[in-house]
Amino acid sequence: NAGVTQTPKFQVLKTGQSMTLQCAQDMNHNSMYWYRQDPGMGLRLIYYSASEGTTDKGEVPNGYNVSRLNKREFSLRLESAAPSQTSVYFCASSVDNYSNQPQHFGDGTRLSIL
């Protein structure tokens, strides 16, 4: 039982390049989330998927797109990377998004945009 798995763990991109961050969970959770973490800013929600087949914007969605591929997988895409997107990205999942249950986080992807 691996929990939430993110790939890659590290990535360096040039401005304007695109890439997709992958996330998969094996806990049969319905809800999945993408956060970015910057120094002093806590965890800011980019996008979330309340259930398979649905996605919604969070607090900071600009410059990102997401795909809920199936119940297990939720990917985050940067179409044209910018230096302001340099951050640590965390994927999380939860049983659902309406009961009082915690989120489970992946190990993060450390992304640098040059």
Binding region for other proteins (CB under 8 A): 33, 40-45, 48, 50, 56, 58, 90, 97-98, 100, 102-108
Between 71 and 104, CB nearer to other proteins: 104
Strands (E) across the chain are located at 4-7, 10-13, 19-25, 31-38, 42-49, 56-57, 64-68, 74-78, 87-94, 104-105, 109-113
Provide the phi-psi class of 16: left if phi over 0, else alpha when psi is between -120 and 50, else beta: left
Between 17 and 97, CB nearer to other proteins: 97
* CB of residue 98 to other proteins, shortest distance in Å: 5
Between 41 and 114, CB nearer to other proteins: 41
Between 17 and 107, CB nearer to other proteins: 107
* CB of residue 70 to other proteins, shortest distance in Å: 20
* CB of residue 46 to other proteins, shortest distance in Å: 12
Q: What is the largest CA-CA distance in the chain?
A: 41
- For the record, the structure tokens of 100 come out as 């009082």
